């Protein structure tokens, strides 16, 4: 450790360059990790943050709530069997602010506001009456505020904004929470029908009771099936393709980072071969030299990780709410730990080179 610190202190300019590279790489890795998590949240945060762990949908719905159809009679059968059950509907639409022409993409989240699906309201009222709506907080950047009137583009129905919630997204659009009566009125106006059905039933189920519930659904609801929330989330259109691409990019970035770091550490090691030769001639053990190299890499990596994390979270605080960026301290820690391990492993090539150094040849410059 002493040898590592002494060399870092003596060759500040050389190691500063490596440190800058480390900071930039960890910043890029963390930022991409945050975007990956953020885009995942943008496609299904509403379902991910919900207390519901199972849903009942049409068997022919491809596990998509928006394609499902559930009658009121179906819901009554289920609600009599399990207490923690409630209707959930997702309807994508366009809205405008009263007095403006700009259209905003919005997904109506039609639920019973007195049930377990209701998210926490961070501003305004959590009471939701007819023709009232609670919006995701990201829409405040579009100029929406409490008391504003939203106009549905398809039906011209008006909704008053009574509150704001956060982290509520579906299909890359912000959520607008409305009650079931408002949803029925919206559908009747849009379709011209006197009677409309709901889309799905959300359930909060003990895992031990799932098989019993699955059997009950099969025997009592024609053409319906029970799906886990993870299955529903995975089948949101575009989610898997998007996440697979980003995760692959992140994996390649780790591989590229390892290669870059290995080259940098190898080059700096080659420049120090004569010094290693002298140390070996003086009787220094290979284990001592190896530890010195590993300590140097670990110290540089830890400093780079620390500064990289500060830069990442600092940049994240400046991003607009509409930017899909989500990075928890836990995720940042896991990415940082993996980066530290990769950095140390990348130094093994340098250690292998040092182990082959012949003291006499190295001192003479023949290496």
Provide the pLDDT for residue 62: 92
The DSSP code for 226 is E
**Cα end-to-end span (Å), the chain:** 26
Provide the pLDDT for residue 226: 94
Alpha-carbon gap, residue 71 to 350, rounded angstroms? 68
Q: What is the pLDDT along the chain (367 residues), one digit of tens a residue?
A: 555 456 556 666 666 778 888 899 999 999 999 999 999 888 899 999 999 999 999 999 999 999 999 999 999 999 999 989 999 999 999 999 988 888 999 999 999 999 999 999 999 988 899 999 999 998 988 889 999 999 999 899 999 999 999 989 999 999 999 999 999 999 999 888 878 889 999 999 999 999 999 999 999 999 999 999 999 999 998 888 888 999 999 999 888 888 888 888 877 777 776 666 666 666 667 677 777 778 888 888 899 999 999 999 999 988 887 788 889 999 999 999 999 998 888 888 777 766 666 655 555 555 5
What is the bridge-based pairing of β-strands 132-136 and 158-165? Answer: parallel
Q: How far is CA 4 from CA 15, 46, 81, 299, 302, in A?
A: 12, 50, 68, 9, 14
Alpha-carbon gap, residue 23 to 306, rounded angstroms? 8
Go through 243-276 and write b for each residue having 16 or more CB atoms within 10 A of its CB, e for each that does not: beebeeebeeebeebbeebbebbbebbeebbeeb
User: Can you give 121-178 as a three-state secondary structure string?
Assistant: EEEECCCCCCCEEEEEHHHHHHCCCCCCEEEECCCCCEEEEEEEECCCEECCEEEEEE
CB of 276 closer than 8 Å to CB of 289: yes
Provide the pLDDT for residue 32: 93
Structure tokens at 195: 């009677």
Alpha-carbon gap, residue 258 to 50, rounded angstroms? 38
352 Cβ contact list (under 8 Å, min separation 6): none
pTM to 2 decimal places: 0.80
CB of 37 closer than 8 Å to CB of 167: no
Residue (of 49, 46, 54) closest to 205 by Cα position: 54
CB of 294 closer than 8 Å to CB of 305: no
Provide the pLDDT for residue 168: 93
Helix (H) or strand (E) holding 261: helix 239-271
Provide the pLDDT for residue 17: 79
Provide the pLDDT for residue 67: 92
């Amino acid at each position: 450790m002493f040898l590592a610190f002494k060399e870092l202190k003596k060759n500040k300019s050389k190691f500063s360059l490596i440190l800058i590279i480390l900071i930039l790489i960890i910043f890029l890795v963390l930022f991409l990790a945050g975007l990956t998590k953020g885009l995942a949240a943008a496609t299904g945060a509403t379902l991910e943050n919900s207390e519901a762990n199972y849903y009942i949908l049409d068997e022919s719905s491809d596990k998509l709530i928006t394609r499902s159809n559930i009658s009121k009679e179906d819901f009554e059968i289920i609600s009599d069997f399990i207490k923690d059950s409630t209707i959930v509907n997702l309807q994508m639409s366009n809205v405008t602010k009263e007095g403006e022409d700009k259209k905003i993409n919005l997904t109506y989240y039609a639920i019973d506001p007195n049930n377990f699906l209701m998210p926490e309201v961070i501003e305004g009222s959590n009471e939701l009456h007819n023709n009232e709506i609670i919006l995701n907080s990201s829409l405040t950047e579009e100029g929406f505020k409490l008391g504003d009137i939203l106009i549905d583009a398809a039906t011209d129905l008006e909704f008053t904004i009574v509150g704001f919630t956060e982290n509520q997204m579906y299909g890359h659009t912000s959520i607008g929470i409305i009650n079931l009566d408002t949803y029925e009125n919206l559908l009747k106006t849009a379709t011209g029908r006197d009677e409309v059905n709901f889309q799905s039933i959300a359930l909060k189920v003990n895992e031990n009771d799932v098989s019993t519930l699955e059997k009950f659904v099969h025997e009592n609801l024609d053409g319906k099936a029970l799906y886990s929330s993870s299955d529903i989330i995975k089948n949101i259109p575009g989610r898997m393709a998007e996440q697979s691409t980003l995760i692959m990019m992140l994996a390649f970035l780790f591989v590229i980072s390892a290669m870059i770091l290995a080259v940098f550490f190898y080059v700096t090691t080659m420049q120090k071969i004569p010094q290693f030769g002298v140390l070996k001639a003086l009787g220094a053990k290979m284990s001592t030299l190896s530890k010195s190299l590993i300590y140097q890499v670990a110290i540089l990596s830890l400093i780079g990780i620390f500064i990289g994390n500060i830069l990442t979270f600092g940049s994240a605080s400046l991003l607009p709410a509409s930017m899909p960026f989500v990075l928890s301290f836990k995720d940042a820690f896991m990415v940082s730990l993996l980066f530290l391990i990769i950095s140390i492993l990348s130094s093994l090539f340098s250690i292998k080179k040092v182990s082959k150094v012949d003291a006499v040849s190295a001192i003479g410059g023949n290496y």
